[in-house]
Amino acid sequence: MLSEADLNIIVYTLFLLSGLPLSYRYAAFMVKHTGMVIPHFFISVMLNLCVGLLGIVGWIFFAPRISIYFTLGGIYLGSGITALSLFILITLLLIKRKALLKSFDHWITS
């Protein structure tokens, strides 16, 4: 049986991981419909960062009830997941940039 701390770590991790598809979908949708790459990539990165920071701040409010080590471990986990998520997002957006712009051209001409 999972304890309360285990369930909180699972929910915390899933919340942090939800920032990646959310921010990617935003950038893909907006680039396809406006054709502007840099502004929407920047907003997407900031959206991902905000989700990560919101999760870490929420963790800081919850975790001290259990222990200081649990709190610090969660902060390190959240920072690592957020950094990895940002790296994956930027890489994915740069790789998909031409395809997104091509779909913008197709959307305009049809």
Q: What CA–CA distance (Å, rounded) separates 36 from 34?
A: 5
pTM of the predicted structure, to 2 decimals:
0.86
Contact 72, 7 (CB under 8 A): no
Residue 51, C-beta contacts closer than 8 angstroms, at least 6 positions apart: 15, 16, 18, 19, 22, 23, 82
What value does the mean pLDDT take over residues 2-11?
A: 87
Q: For 73-85, what is each residue's pLDDT tens digit?
A: 999 999 999 999 9
Mean pLDDT, the chain, whole residue set: 90
- Taking only the tens place, the pLDDT of each residue in 38-78 is 999 999 999 999 999 999 999 999 888 888 999 999 999 99
